A and B are shown apart, each in its own frame.
Chain A
Amino acid sequence: MSLAELICPAGTPAALRTAVDAGADAVYCGFQDATNARNFPGLNFTPDELQDAVVYAHMRGAKVLLALNTYPPAGRVDLWREAADAGARIGVDAFIVADMGVADYIARTHPQVRLHLSVQAAASSPEAIRYYCDNFGVKRVVLPRILTIAEIRELRKEIPCEIETFIFGNHGLMVEGRCSLTNYLTGQSTNMDGVCSPASDVEYVRGADGSLSSQLAGFTIDRFGADEKAGYPTICKGRYAAPHRPEGYYAFEEPVSLNLSRLLPELIEAGVHAFKIEGRQRSKSYVRNVVAAFRAAVDDIRAGREANIADLVALTEGQKQTQGAFETKKWR
């Protein structure tokens, strides 16, 4: 049986302490800049805050993983190098990277720190994953959410590193690290600026009929009826009218969250080493409830008991959940 480490999100120092106290084996977080893919206003850590957070986590047996999982534009790579230097100095347990240049810098400059390959690298084939392992010493790959459990089981046999999969939260299926939809409307890049649908470009408009319109950079990307559940204001989960669907439909994805609580035993049996909970942008309440629920479930499975996981649907996007491609490629 794999270790089934629980990898939990933290957007603030208080959220990190909450995650550790709720049973996280490791917590991932980022600095307050473009070096990570949750570069949201008011979120993330200063170097001093991260230092304190690492001390707090290590004293309780938890690890801290630093996300440096965006792509430096030409001429700006120093920001990523300085972030890596700061993380190594602080004593983080691993870096989560996507860019080969960043991976190469860390492998050469801080070889004592583990490298994990971010989902932002979108590496899903044995060949691609082996390339990162062979050239940069990557110890773990975070898999894109597009593989079935059967495919993960086969992949495990062909790669020399650990596997981490998402088990709860955002169900982002665009080819990660390559999505330019936000850039198209706002001029800011998810992959280089670290922000999908920047809050400064988002506006919610309340209709007289109780409806709610989500707008990004002045474009309406969805309109929810008075009694309809809402989702995030991202283009990939927008609802659009087209000649063949004039009533409007979800052209790319739907507002729905991933929840693999029922598949945990199969994932462990397939050789998954670590389970990742998405949501650094979410509150302490989310962190506390989701981490505690999965902590209990993983402990039950390890002890040979049937996991009876709490109902988390109230915390899901659009208050809908799916097992996505992990169950079947035909989930839609």
Chain B
Amino acid sequence: MQVTHDRAPARRRPGEPLVARLACLAVQPVLARVVRRIAARHPSLFARLGPHQATDFLIDPVELPFALHLRPDPEALVFRAVPRDAAPQAGATIRGKFMLLLELVDAEEDGDAAFFSRDLEVTGDTEAVVRLRNALDDMDGSLAEETAAMFGPPGRAILAQLRRGYLTETERQEAP
């Protein structure tokens, strides 16, 4: 299963910075809750990160109005939404469509294959990205489903809708 996605948009639409800031404010409580829960349920994740627990990762879902800043330090976890024009200097950046990134975390897609197809873009410290990938890949269960379950039936319904949309897009791209 492979999808060819558009590249990251080079131009910003009018009003986008304001939308980005409002979106960040809206999702931040969710992100904080998600990352605390993951850290509590998957403590072994941090050992595989080694020295890169202190690295700042910028995860850039290209179609969303904001990026995600992750610093996987178990003593001082950071996972927050940031407007792209206010993103911190990152040690490593991972860029792709939101659902592709989510499917990679859940091991539903293969990171190397997404890199080969150019759907996934990595810049900065490659070792940091490799460590993060391996740490996440050693997690059992579905991060997406765990997160959705935190929000009950509405959360599960949203995830199911996102996955249907991703599948539809995949099938459309693969059609002859």
Between A and B, 10 residue pairs with Cβ closer than 8 Å are A12-B137, A14-B140, A42-B50, A42-B130, A42-B135, A43-B134, A203-B123, A227-B118, A230-B117, A315-B112
B residues adjacent to A (C-beta < 8 A): 1-2, 7, 48-50, 104, 107-113, 115-118, 121-124, 126-127, 129-135, 137-140
How distant is the Cα of A43 from the Cα of B133 in the complex, in angstroms? 9
Q: Which residue of A lies closest to B140 (CB)?
A: A14
Looking at A40, A231, A286, the one whose CB has the most chain B CB atoms below 10 A away is A286
Taking chain A's interface residues, is the majority helix, strand, or loop, or is none over half, making it mixed?
A: mixed
* Number of interchain pairs (Cβ within 8 Å): 107
Residue A13 interfacial (CB < 8 Å): yes
Q: How large is the interface on A (under 10, 10 to 19, 20 to 34, 35 or more residues)?
A: 35 or more
Q: Which residue of A lies closest to B174 (CB)?
A: A314
Provide the residues of chain A in CB contact with B131, threshold 8 Å. Answer: 41-42
Indicate if the CB atoms of B137 and A230 lie closer than 8 Å. Answer: no
Provide the residues of chain A in CB contact with B50, threshold 8 Å. Answer: 41-42
How distant is the Cα of A198 from the Cα of B140 in the complex, in angstroms? 27
Indicate if the CB atoms of A203 and B137 lie closer than 8 Å. Answer: no
Q: A11-B134, A42-B50 are in contact. Are A230 and B118 (CB under 8 A)?
A: yes
Indicate if the CB atoms of A285 and B118 lie closer than 8 Å. Answer: no
Indicate if the CB atoms of A229 and B107 lie closer than 8 Å. Answer: no
Binds B, one of A104-112, A204-212, A263-271, A322-330: A204-212
How distant is the Cα of A145 from the Cα of B162 in the complex, in angstroms? 43
Q: Whole-angstrom distance from the CB of B72 to the nearest CB of chain A? A: 12
Among A6-61, those with CB < 8 Å from B are 11-15, 17-18, 40-43
Indicate if the CB atoms of A285 and B123 lie closer than 8 Å. Answer: no
Provide the residues of chain A in CB contact with B109, threshold 8 Å. Answer: 283, 285
